[in-house]
A and B are shown apart, each in its own frame.
Chain A
Amino acid sequence: MNNDHHNQHPKQVTEETNRPLSPWLVGAFMLALIWGGLYLGFNSGGFRQDVYESNAVNWVGGGATAAAPVDPKVVGKRLYTQNCVVCHQPNGMGVAGQFPPLAGSEWVLTEGNHAENHLVMLVLNGLQGTFEVKGQQYNNAMVPWKQLSDEQIADILTYIRSDWGNNTPAISPEFVTQIRKTDAAQSDSWTQEQLLAVPPVKPNVTSGATPAMK
């Protein structure tokens, strides 16, 4: 048994175990501590109890600023992925012969006698019967999307009008609200003839064309 092993060499123990630390390591520790102090200083929100998000506020002046506005195209893309992508596909090309494309579609881009109110109406109530897009005939049904809020429909439409080479102005939630009101009497899905018989309504353009999404 080595009970007295350590007691024989107390001096050696001190010499052997107290070599100084590598200056590089000491330097690294110092840098880590300085970083820690700076990080805490810049992200502490002034150590205030009412500042929850250190990046969103300028704590020197105190008080929170408004949150950054949400980009409707980002929200729209998410909603599109959740609701529309099954038929119209992630690339907006639809499925040949079954589901019409959105990319370059005159209905989406509101070209010719197609107007923004038609686009909103067909999303609200859905479609049935024969339907022509980009010179192709489709005979299928689109379900109504009334259950989505005005804001959600506006976001989706803004998104599909700005991706895949489409480049047309945003649709505002107010415009969807307005169309939903005038559209309230319609209970069935639209046919193409009914829809195009409705006089075109253009939204009050307040902002320019939204730039295309990358």
Chain B
Amino acid sequence: MSHHNLPHHHPAPGHEPVDNKAIDASVRLPVIILFGNAIHWLVIACLLSLVVSIKLIAPGFLGGISFLNYGRLAPMARDLMLYGWASQAAIGAGVWLMARLCGRPLGGGDGQGMGGMLLRTLIISATVLWNLAVLLGTLAIFAGYSTGVEWLEYPNWASAMLLLSFLLIGIWAVLLFDRRSNPRAEVAQWYLVAAFCWFPWVYGTANLLLTWKPVQASAQGPIQSWYCGSLLALWLLPVALASAYALLPRLLGCHMNRRHLSTLGFWMLLLLGGWNGMDRLIGGPVPAWMTSAGVVAGVLFLIPIIMISINLLGMPRNEVIVSASLPGRFLLMGLYALVIVGVIGALASLPDVSGAVRFTAFTEAKTQLWILGAISLPLFGVLYESLPQLLGRDCWCPVLSGRHYILTLVGLGMLVVLMLLGGLFTGLALADPTVSFLNITSYSYPFHLMECVAQLLLLIAMLTLGANITFALAGDYLLNKHNGK
């Protein structure tokens, strides 16, 4: 695996960039801890998702136990995916990329002084707090203390812990940007700053208005939709895009295509991202203009996606280099997943389509492709790229890495296609008054059956990744022991 350094443009006088090795050393431990924890939540989330999808074909499976109900396991799996895995990995990726792109080690100087050590301790403590919040929040849902608000099921104290933990880490990412060595920020840096500012805002606001001090019921629907749209499009997606903007041109050895478009793509993404979820409320008790704005945002969201694609997928690339770079392939696949998600989202937000497929697996397919495709695939890319540089050696087992890549793509592709088709059939059957509800469930049975297979493939993929990173880190430990350190 080749180790590309992130270069620094136009260093300002007195702001000479620090060596990449010193930067990596300053963030090594926090980033590895963030990624390691994220992956173990990912494996658990995939296991729970598998159980949840088995329950769709065999409702009696583990049915007699109240805390293993579908209604508890499904939100547990989704929240672990969002906060345990995606958000935590995004923080790790964000911290590493920000330090590298800004050419500054954590804590100033060479990163090894008192400041650096204190900051690392603070960030690691905040990471522990984050994981404690995820663990306790998950257990609270398990025990039946969910708030009942989709994607915000963690009880008040757990969500407050998450927010505090994020602020303790995020502020240093933003301060790093303030001390950057390149006065003219890179595209990836814009996305990172936006993402690190956006998460505390949307998470804090949504929790305040929905669970801490709930507003009147009619206003909760739009707020919740705004939160779901924003969490994906304004926090997780920007980090995934920052990874692609920062790493892809360097990994593939070519220049970004039509750089001027990236500004427009960035601002349109920010403008439309929050409105993106509002089309979920069509026909609901909200003023008509809100849902209509959601429909328009859902369709127009294709424009920033096309601009980003022109920037990154439009690069003239050498297929030999692409096939040799696993991180590069993960990042590219993440971008392709984003394009597909954009097309599906635009179609699904049109009122006629939405009316047919809204309450079916179709919407779930879109969400899965968002989280596991457009967001997780680029995060895998950063993980595969960063760890060898952080550890200073080739740490990945190529066989396991390759298996993880293939299994993830096959499992995800299968899951999404099945859910799209199954959702479409269910939606059309639901709209037909001559078809009884019992018949509809039997139509969707084969799809649910195959979805279990897809979830199983995903679980195996994530177990492979777990084994891979365990060997990578244990290898480091064994190597140190061997060298007598």
Seen from chain A, the residues whose Cβ lies within 8 Å of a Cβ on chain B are: 1-7, 10, 12-14, 16-19, 21, 25, 29, 32-33, 35-36, 39-40, 43-54, 74, 77-78, 81-82, 90
The interface-forming segment of B66-74, B172-180, B236-244, B251-259 is B251-259
User: When the two chains form their complex, are residues B289 and A18 in contact, meaning their CB atoms are under 8 A apart?
Assistant: no
The interface-forming segment of B91-99, B297-305, B322-330, B407-415 is B297-305
User: When the two chains form their complex, are residues B260 and A18 in contact, meaning their CB atoms are under 8 A apart?
Assistant: yes
Seen from chain B, the residues whose Cβ lies within 8 Å of a Cβ on chain A are: 3-5, 7-9, 20, 255-261, 283, 285-289, 292-293, 295-296, 299-300, 302-303, 306, 310, 433-434, 436
User: When the two chains form their complex, are residues B256 and A6 in contact, meaning their CB atoms are under 8 A apart?
Assistant: no
User: When the two chains form their complex, are residues A32 and B292 in contact, meaning their CB atoms are under 8 A apart?
Assistant: no
Cβ–Cβ < 8 Å partners of A82 in chain B: 436
Cβ–Cβ < 8 Å partners of A54 in chain B: 288-289, 292
User: When the two chains form their complex, are residues A32 and B299 in contact, meaning their CB atoms are under 8 A apart?
Assistant: yes
Q: Select B7's contact among A2, A18, A36, A46, beta carbons within 8 Å.
A: A2
User: When the two chains form their complex, are residues B436 and A81 in contact, meaning their CB atoms are under 8 A apart?
Assistant: yes
How far apart sit A35 and B286, CA to CA, in the bound complex (Å)?
23
How far apart sit A54 and B8, CA to CA, in the bound complex (Å)?
52
B237: shortest Cβ distance to chain A, in Å? 20
User: When the two chains form their complex, are residues B434 and A49 in contact, meaning their CB atoms are under 8 A apart?
Assistant: no
User: When the two chains form their complex, are residues B300 and A36 in contact, meaning their CB atoms are under 8 A apart?
Assistant: yes
Closest chain A residue, CB of each to CB of B264: A29
Known contacts A7-B7, A18-B258; A36 and B433 CB within 8 A of each other? no
User: When the two chains form their complex, are residues B288 and A53 in contact, meaning their CB atoms are under 8 A apart?
Assistant: yes
Q: Select A32's contact among B285, B287, B300, B436, beta carbons within 8 Å.
A: B300
Known contacts A21-B258, A32-B299; A43 and B4 CB within 8 A of each other? no
B430: shortest Cβ distance to chain A, in Å? 12
Cβ–Cβ < 8 Å partners of B256 in chain A: 17
Known contacts A45-B289, A77-B434; A39 and B4 CB within 8 A of each other? no
Q: Select A44's contact among B9, B292, B302, beta carbons within 8 Å.
A: B292
User: When the two chains form their complex, are residues A47 and B436 in contact, meaning their CB atoms are under 8 A apart?
Assistant: no
User: When the two chains form their complex, are residues B288 and A45 in contact, meaning their CB atoms are under 8 A apart?
Assistant: yes
Task: Give me 7 other A-B pairs in contact (C-beta within 8 A), A17-B258, A18-B258 excluded.
Answer: A2-B4, A16-B255, A17-B255, A36-B299, A39-B296, A43-B288, A53-B288
B4: shortest Cβ distance to chain A, in Å? 7
Cβ–Cβ < 8 Å partners of B286 in chain A: 52
User: When the two chains form their complex, are residues A40 and B3 in contact, meaning their CB atoms are under 8 A apart?
Assistant: no
How far apart sit A48 and B259, CA to CA, in the bound complex (Å)?
41
Cβ–Cβ < 8 Å partners of A47 in chain B: 287, 289
User: When the two chains form their complex, are residues B296 and A36 in contact, meaning their CB atoms are under 8 A apart?
Assistant: yes
User: Could you pull out 18 A-B pairs where Cβ atoms are within 8 angstroms?
Assistant: A3-B7, A3-B20, A7-B7, A12-B255, A13-B259, A17-B255, A17-B256, A25-B306, A32-B302, A35-B299, A39-B296, A40-B289, A43-B289, A45-B287, A45-B289, A46-B289, A52-B288, A77-B434
How far apart sit A67 and B299, CA to CA, in the bound complex (Å)?
29
Cβ–Cβ < 8 Å partners of B287 in chain A: 45, 47-52
Closest chain A residue, CB of each to CB of B259: A17
How far apart sit A33 and B295, CA to CA, in the bound complex (Å)?
13
A45: shortest Cβ distance to chain B, in Å? 4
Known contacts A48-B287, A51-B287, A81-B436; A40 and B292 CB within 8 A of each other? yes
How far apart sit A54 and B351, CA to CA, in the bound complex (Å)?
12
Known contacts A33-B300, A49-B287, A81-B436; A6 and B9 CB within 8 A of each other? yes
Cβ–Cβ < 8 Å partners of A81 in chain B: 433-434, 436
User: When the two chains form their complex, are residues A29 and B303 in contact, meaning their CB atoms are under 8 A apart?
Assistant: yes
Which of B256, B285, B300 has the most A CB atoms < 10 Å from its CB?
A: B300
Q: Select A19's contact among B20, B258, B303, beta carbons within 8 Å.
A: B258
Known contacts A7-B7, A77-B433, A81-B436; A44 and B288 CB within 8 A of each other? yes
